[in-house]
Structures are given as C-alpha cells and as structure tokens.
C-alpha cells in the first residue's frame, strides 16, 4: 500500500496536536483562576455593601435613641417645672 502523505506533513500535524494538548492544562488553570478571582471580587463587594447598610442602620438607631432620650428629658423637665410652679 503506497503512502500518499508526505512525512513532513504528518509530523507537522502531530506537533500541532501535541502543542494543543500541552496548552490545555495551562488554559484550564487560567480559566479557574479568572473565575475564582471574579467570585472573590464579588464577595468583597457584597461584604462592603453589607457593612455600609449596617452602618446606616446603626446611625438611624442611634438617632432614634437620642431622639427618645431628648423627648423623655423634655417630658421630665416639663413635669418637674410644673410641680415647682404649683408648689408641690
């Protein structure tokens, strides 16, 4: 049976296939690292957003607490002043 394909061509195709197979692990690791870094970046952004929202809630709670203290203080001051004026 005669060989109709030049040996240089079969060597070239074999080398190209070997190169492609050799690049696969590096490509797979690159894809893994990219997806992992993207996931970590999104997780960090979510954590930052959660901290910002918690700070807003803490500030609102502090303001409400101070408002409650100030209102209670005014009520007590008014009651004591009324008692002094009436001579109790």
- Rg (the chain; Cα; Å): 38
- pTM for this predicted structure: 0.52
Which tokens go with 27?
């490509």
pLDDT digits (tens, 9 = 90+) for 20-65: 777 888 889 999 999 999 999 999 999 999 999 999 999 999 998 8
Per the structure block, which two tokens stand in for 26?
A: 């590096």
Residue with tokens 């979510």: 46
């Amino acid at each position: 049976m005669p060989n109709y394909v030049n040996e240089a061509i079969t060597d070239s195709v074999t080398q190209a296939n070997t190169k492609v197979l050799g690049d696969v692990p590096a490509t797979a690791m690159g894809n893994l690292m990219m997806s992992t870094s993207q996931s970590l970046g999104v997780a960090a952004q979510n954590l930052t957003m959660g901290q910002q929202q918690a700070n807003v809630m803490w500030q609102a709670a502090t303001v409400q607490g101070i408002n409650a203290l100030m209102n209670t203080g005014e009520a007590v001051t008014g009651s004591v002043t009324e008692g002094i004026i009436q001579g109790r």
